[in-house]
Amino acid sequence: MKEIMIESEFITLGQFLKMTDAIQSGGMAKWFLSEYAVFVNGEAEDRRGRKLRPGDTVNVPGTGRFRISAAEGTKPHAD
């Protein structure tokens, strides 16, 4: 499982797909999610605006499995 470090409280699924090179541009996110299965924390997800926070896992078949992690110095989200 690959670690994806973020420096903010969250990133969207669309931003994540671009970071992992699953898509070339943010505009492709909606199309990609309608054509391919993507799983967030083990559940199918098709919303490009889904917020991913440190601790979340994402499985993009054909691209890989990833864990979202907070970069050093990033404040954790308070629930």
Helix/strand/coil (H, E, C) string of 8-56? CCCEEHHHHHHHCCCCCCHHHHHHHHHHCCCEECCEECCCCCCEECCCC
Each residue's pLDDT tens digit, 19-67: 999 999 989 999 999 999 999 999 999 999 999 999 999 999 888 999 9
The amino acid present at 55, given as its one-letter code, is: G
Output b/e per residue, 19-58; b: 16+ Cβ within 10 A: eeebbeeeebbeebbeeeebebeeeebeebebebebebeb
- pTM equals 0.86
- The domain ranges of the chain are 2-70
Match domain 2-70 to its CATH number in 3.20.20.70, 3.30.43.10, 3.10.290.10, 1.20.1050.140: 3.10.290.10
